[in-house]
Structure 1
């Protein structure tokens, strides 16, 4: 029986106007703790049901938080944790991999079409087959059929199995016969009850759709963009990517929700689908409030048209409606094919194409501090690709197009790659979007420079810091193979790295304490970092991420100045001299000058130089013996560092790049090489040579590697 009964207030003090001034945990006996835990669990489950199912909470959010925290404290102090406890919604320990579980009943796909004639054919087949199975002739009156019409949610379909009212397992649809057991993750979703309410069946397997609400999706994408992470393409991808996380605590942080919409099996089945749905809320299972029952196919088609009109106003994504035969006995008679149930049909919506609404605007901070406003869109099809974000380029263009949140816009793709807002089709707002005055990442002032805007935080801004470290370690920098986007974020978020210079102070023990790091990967990374302490000057200049100074310009600067000290002195005191270098004009020279006169950047560079000594460039010592060849290096070499080997081949006319392509002539493999470059070489038929073979290749051209 639910706590919502009349005398529930007398039996549980934590339902209405609950006290939150609890006695200290240490003052309770174990029996008193157990009693309070039982009452808190019961009350919190009821509050969850009222919040998620009834949309009728009876306590404030902060009061709920106080009850929840008290329950956590008691469970932790007295060792009373339990799988059914509401506290499991905050996640648990990461798992190594998902187990596979067989479904109670097949979770088949749904036959679908966007053509109303196909829907009418479905209805005709249903009525004909039911009439014939009932013994009626073709001339007799058609079978009477009621349909339950539901929104077709664009999420992740799952099976939820309850035994004696307790959530036993949650399984993804998979191939329809079996899927991944994601129970640990499902428990973190607030609208998934750990225990059922009311007079529930002893055994119940229900089908539900896990989804991410549109507003929550846009907010989550905004946060990802501002953290420098890649946003999700649409809510379904975000949901699928979340539900299969191996760490339940990550799932708990993401805004997932669920609608329950079908009984797969139960110890006590109802006669009709509508009767089942009516009982779901009593059991604590959330159902959609847009479900309707119609008595003919015309009503079903009208329902679909109404839902299409309402689509943009719904807080969740749908891509059509599902039309189901209501009567359970009729369903059994109609049966199923190998792929889909014959008693259900999906009437799909046409794909949104090019025109959509701007739901929000996120601010992306680049490596150099450049601020790029990004429009977060209601997902739309553009050239066969689902697009959920588009560049707004810069403040000047935003003003010129008069674009803002709430506007209906046309989205195009530049060169079939980068989506951008081409024009406003219909204004849904006043005026145009204005950039914030301060950086959303570091709170430093944002300043305008012509049509552009920049965060003034420099390397003190986490967004710029992460991207600076990524660039420092990239192919265009010092080519540290063990440092990609994910590992850099992990190092920064863990506090191990707060600057580029901190890379050189990492130790093996600290690395191996991070998730996913073992002895070998830690040692390989540390060896790579150690090898980068004496890089060629050109590589070091490129790695610093100076605006407009990529590998080609860095080589020209290295040839011109020879040493880092000479280059830096010119950059600070005599920027006019920079303009004498090929490909450097007044604007680039000014950017280089600004970079080195920035106090934050100067301190960051000085800190790096405490660990790194860029080698002097001596172009006269080289030649053209390797002219036209391209080398890529991976792993550690004996006797020389990888950077020294790269400098040697470049001094003799070759190119040394960081990634393998069809234009690569040789991949040189040392000790503990990365797997990716070897795989790329094999895929592109690039010759792979070890260090001895590399030395022999050089010696044959009169080049000594020592």
Structure 2
């Protein structure tokens, strides 16, 4: 046997032992024997550097130092999930799914919802390439060196599986390992970690991968993302992923009806407490991958999946004080300051009170004993008052009448749940909040500039609005606290680079009330420039798809404000993209204007997403369900029979993929 053959044989043997031990929980050799083989392989690799392999079992022990984690764009967006909290929510979801698919023949995959840190693993030619955190769904941090130390993640795939793919999963810290870590910290006189989820997430951002390797992290996988059409169902793809070496939990089950889904939910609502890791719910997915494609996505989540959250833990504590926060739009949010209490593994000191109506509805008062729960909220909320413990001298809460920051009298428009501070350009949190929104990842994505620095720049008098950012110079920034020459230069470079951000993102960055990402895209596509948008009238605005009275009025209010007009003019002078670029509209036409299309089935010349983009690029509208407003159905292979029947009943014209291509050409 040659040296190379010996090295390859040892690598394969050690990978198999890792798989048996960390995935199958079935050790075939002792730890001592494993260590002997690892050392033998290390020695051979050192003596023969020509055979180095970054995915060798010897490279899992860590030692890489990462000072700055590079931000990486996801090839395929990592969506969040819509949440449900009752069986009725699940039934409503099922009805929507069946209606959109035009069939009641739908099967579901049921999986436990793991409580950890989401991760995206990329494999090319069956070799592990990189690991990226979820981030904001569009981009995350490259934590490859740290993730390679997790021994349940295979670094190469030798069994029959897809070649180029992404594996989505959750990095977790099993309860046994978490408790052991805390025992060691107590012995060393250190403060205990609060909960497994935050500890797992924090571990991924440690600079020393050797430290990560010492932590008993695990990775549970739940989705294969690939363009290779090897498997027909989600369940089949995960079963084959498990055979290929991935740790896919054996708790996953196939449900042939929503009643079977309820059985799964009921079983694990009780048995989850016996699991070796934390879970806070169940994820239900349409099992058929073609049906998943047909259902598609909303702006935030897949239509083909939903999370059912187990009933949240509740605790009672004392409400000490009600304070008020001011958001970037001037919205006032009341906050309950609580006597600290343990809830779902964290110490809770504050809870959202939402608005004046909620305080009045629950009759919440200072010094009340209140019930707090986390539920699906990141910030805990008060759900009820324990009236049996109310103090005799208790007085009803009087909602704030003036802004807590600038003392301006608050306003509340009819039909709006929140109070607002109208001092848009003179209220510090609004000024800072708008600039922080402007620089955020989904907006201008300015590298080297964070929220704390924005606040510091404002306090130092260097900026008062987001247009001021483009006047900043390196020499002005260097004297700031914790600011070196290199970081100052990186900030200025990041600001200059943002001038290339496309119009739709700039429009979102402006922070017009009610104009989120999706609305900004529709407005940018329709009006093509900020000038046409800001000079449009109410009637013109509400003719735009999905633009209602409230959004239209908000745009008019923004456009008529002299301060905003001056800001836009300054942004123009600085060269920001305030109109759609010629390149992006080069292939766009109005050939399909006013026509509504439904895309259904499997296609061969174009993907489903390419078809939808082609419809929109040519002025048409894509709908997910057939109605009287539908003009055409582009039918591929395996179109649902009930959709076909509905189309025929409504007299909707059915065309082929080639017919559509001919139409736009």
Taking structure 1 as the reference length, the TM-score comes to 0.45
Greater relative CO, 1 or 2 (CA 8 Å, sep 6+): 2
